[in-house]
Amino acid sequence: MRGAKVKLGYFDEEEDAARAYDAALVRYKNAPTVNFPGEAPLASVLAALPALSSPPPAQPAPAPPAPPGAPRRSGRAPAPKVIVDAPGPVLRLERDLPMRRGPPRRKSVEGAYQKQNGKWTCPKMFPGRDFDDLDAYRSAKKQRTDQRAAYRDQKHGWHWK
């Protein structure tokens, strides 16, 4: 379809995105490459491009012949550069990315998680309290466990011998 947007995917490297753009130009518009002039797009990049519902536009008209006074070139056009495909996937397309729902996962240790400021917190056990490091959290947790055990023993009259 004319004027339709085509999503090429997400890329880790700027060069990969530029190569995908060039491959899309060649495949969908039959236009020359912009980012890497004179280089043919990689076969793996062309294969990874999504298919369009309508056929690509017709081939552009051939260039007009050179004027009579211009120097003649040899009968062959220069061969395009051939780039050997690297092993493994070249592109990371949207469909290849894993689906991720919800907030990002936080680093959690023994029920506490680390906040963006680097401090550790456990809102269930210590609401409104932050700890500078895990050792401080562990000592507070141990102290809380000992206090609860002492209270339980006092209330129920349990005496271990």
What are 32-51's pLDDT values in tens digits? 888 888 888 878 777 777 77
How do strand 112-114 and strand 130-131 relate by DSSP bridges? unpaired
Q: Among residues 4, 3, 42, 2, which one has the least CA distance to residue 21?
A: 42
- CA 11, 15, 19, 20: dihedral to nearest 10 degrees? 10
Region 16-21 average pLDDT: 86
pLDDT band at 75 (very low <50, low <70, confident <90, very high): low
- Count Cβ atoms below 10 Å from residue 136 Cβ, excluding itself: 13
pLDDT band at 60 (very low <50, low <70, confident <90, very high): low
Place of tokens 């040899």: 74
**pLDDT at res. 141:** 93
**pLDDT at res. 72:** 60
Q: Which residues of 48-69 are buried (b: 16+ CB within 10 A; e: fewer)?
A: bbeeeeeeeeeeeeeeeeeeee
How do strand 108-109 and strand 112-114 relate by DSSP bridges? antiparallel
Q: Which parts of the chain fold into alpha helices (H)?
A: 14-24, 43-48, 134-156
- pLDDT tens-digit series, residues 84-102: 555 555 555 555 566 667 7
In whole angstroms, what is the distance from residue 21 CA to residue 19 CA?
Answer: 5
State the chain's mean pLDDT as an integer. 75
Contact by Cβ (8 Å): 23, 35? no
pLDDT: which is higher, 148 or 56 = 148
